[in-house]
Amino acid sequence: MSNIKHTIGEGIRGFVANFMPTLKESRFVEEGVLTPEEFVAAGDMLVHKCPTWGWEKGEEKKMKDFLPADKQFLSTKGVSCVRRVAEIMTNETDFDVEVE
């Protein structure tokens, strides 16, 4: 079911994107939307401050020409999900935490 929702949502976003120009001036305060430059700057700060985040280039057919090829989207890895955290918190065995 979620796969169907994702596919429909992706189709709608793709259709709408054909009619919306890429922002040239910031409208973050007024509308909460970023220019490509603001997105990259915010992503760079996130990656710098939170090492679990990183830039991805993604599939070539989905790349946006207004973003750098190696900074198409952000992803996070190695973050415990709520279920895993709950399991760790209720587990009575000792465990070691690695800190980089």
pLDDT, one tens digit per residue, over 45-66 is 999 999 899 999 989 998 999 9
Output the CA angle 4-13-54, nearest 5 degrees: 90
4 against 98, higher pLDDT: 4
Do 33 and 27 form a contact (C-beta atoms < 8 A)? yes
Q: How many CB atoms lie within 10 A of CB 13?
A: 10
Domain ranges of the chain: 2-90
Residue 99 has pLDDT above 70, yes or no: no
pLDDT number for residue 95: 56
pLDDT, one tens digit per residue, over 33-43 is 899 999 999 99
93 against 61, higher pLDDT: 61
Give the predicted TM-score (pTM) of the model.
0.64
